[in-house]
Amino acid sequence: MPSNKSVSDAAITQFINCRILRDHRLQRDDLWVREGKVLDPEKLFFDEKGYADKLVDCEGSIIAPGFIDVQINGGYGIDFSQASDDVSSGVSFVAKKILQHGVTSFCPTLVTSPPAVYHKVLPQIKVSDGGEHGAGVLGFHLEGPFISVEKKGAHPEQFLRTFQSGGIEDLMEAYGGLDNIAMVTLAPELGGSQSVVKELCQRGITVSLGHSVANLSQAEEAVHHGASFITHLFNAMLPFHHRDPGIVGLLTSDQVPAGRTVYYGMIADGIHTNPAALRIAHRAHPSGLVLVTDAITAMGLPPGRHTLGQQVIEIQGLHAYVAGCSVEEALEAASLHPAKLLGISHKKGNLDYGSDADLVLLDDALNVEATFISGEEVWRKGP
């Protein structure tokens, strides 16, 4: 006769009085967690004890998957593109601070820098799980230096590079290696870029198109070679034109291979992107929207002069908004979509059974009330 003893004797946490984001809608249900994973409650019928060891009353709050930020350059006085002998302490400091914003995983982002900076910074940070110490690190996002001079934006022109060797050797020379790199932003019109896109994707590194004057056919070619993201849509690229929509045209292109999705990052601050532009993009391609902060060292600090890589910039004000989509769509754009983009949606970005119990509790205005990683509370709003 089979035993009904639990497969695991680990403690079970039950979140009650919740509205859980699951299957693209908010559902009134309880959430069960064991050993850092979302648990199928039906399995508890075969559990010897049949009850939770700990109850968390959400008091009607929304429970969504923890947010994933794939483009964050720093914050709270820390600039990830500044080389030092202790880069890890700065990354850890930001990782701890962003818990209050519901971020449970992120990609530290470096803007265009000289090789010496990459060689100094990159070896110091490894992919790591999150916890009470801070949000998990999913790997670096390297935004540059293989981008367009015409669309360099805030990137220093003197450190921009082209693909001289026509292959991966240029990346190795610039970066020093490709370990712990999750994403690279490049301009697909640069000579030799298409072979680089293919090579990076074969290595499991996400390729994003941005800071570019590429036309639509060049962007489509990059997608055929594996590119799957657009860095801050509308910013630092050719404006939409009816005869050649450029990179923006990927949102509705019929040349995207079947079964593939091209995602696009949006900085929803009302400054980088007008709300009307965000609504146009979302209505054209809702399943591709990925909300990013593109935060810099000034995040969490008063307006003034702050660094961005090798430059000093003036910050005059900070804003944020989400417009043109439902609550569920906005939350998925900050969780499920970036997880799919990075190929980690089997464990993050959703609350499916077996997924990591990285959670954010929010009120109806989407203010963060508490953040959990692996089912453990890592931040809670004060009284």
Phi and psi based region of residue 260 (left: phi greater than 0; alpha: psi -120 to 50; beta: remaining): beta
Please state which of the ranges 38-52, 237-251, 260-274 shows the lowest mean pLDDT.
Answer: 38-52
In this structure, the strands spanning 78-79 and 74-75 are antiparallel
- Total Cβ atoms within 10 A of residue 199: 17
Q: Is there a binding annotation on residue 346? A: no
Residue with token string 């947010």: 67
Between CA 185 and CA 209 the distance in angstroms is: 6
Q: Is there a binding annotation on residue 232? A: yes
- Total Cβ atoms within 10 A of residue 203: 10
What pLDDT sits at residue 95? 98
What pLDDT sits at residue 317? 47
Read off the pLDDT of residues 185-214 as tens digits, 9 standing for 90 and up. Answer: 999 999 999 999 999 999 999 999 999 999
Between CA 91 and CA 108 the distance in angstroms is: 8
Q: Per-residue pLDDT for 311 more than 90?
A: no
Please state which of the ranges 90-94, 158-162, 319-323, 376-380 shows the lowest mean pLDDT.
Answer: 319-323
- Total Cβ atoms within 10 A of residue 252: 11
What pLDDT sits at residue 305? 53
Which H/E stretch holds residue 254? none
Q: Is there a binding annotation on residue 143? A: yes
- Catalytic residue numbers read 294
What pLDDT sits at residue 298? 67
Which range, 240-249, 269-278, 296-305, 316-325, has the best average confidence (pLDDT)?
A: 240-249
Between CA 22 and CA 20 the distance in angstroms is: 6
What pLDDT sits at residue 316? 44
- The C-alpha angle with vertex 239 and arms to 193 and 287, in degrees rounded to 5, equals 75
What pLDDT sits at residue 319? 44
Between CA 62 and CA 59 the distance in angstroms is: 9
Between CA 370 and CA 381 the distance in angstroms is: 6
The one-letter code for the residue type at 176 is G
Q: Per-residue pLDDT for 277 more than 70?
A: yes
What pLDDT sits at residue 3? 41
Identify which has the larger pLDDT, 82 or 317. Answer: 82
Identify which has the larger pLDDT, 252 or 325. Answer: 252
Q: What count of Cα atoms within 13 Å lies in the side-chain half-sphere of residue 219?
A: 32
Q: Per-residue pLDDT for 285 more than 80?
A: yes
Answer yes or no: are the C-beta atoms of 370 and 381 closer than 8 Å. Answer: yes
In this structure, the strands spanning 140-143 and 181-186 are parallel
- Total Cβ atoms within 10 A of residue 124: 16
Read off the pLDDT of residues 30-80 as tens digits, 9 standing for 90 and up. Answer: 999 999 999 998 877 665 556 788 999 999 999 999 999 999 999 999 999
Read off the pLDDT of residues 115-161 as tens digits, 9 standing for 90 and up. Answer: 999 999 999 999 999 999 999 999 999 999 999 999 998 899 999 99
Between CA 22 and CA 32 the distance in angstroms is: 14
Mean pLDDT of the chain: 90
Which H/E stretch holds residue 178? none
Predicted TM-score (pTM) of the model is 0.93
DSSP alpha helix (H) spans, the chain: 87-97, 115-121, 168-175, 193-202, 216-224, 275-284, 327-333, 336-342
What pLDDT sits at residue 306? 46
What pLDDT sits at residue 363? 95
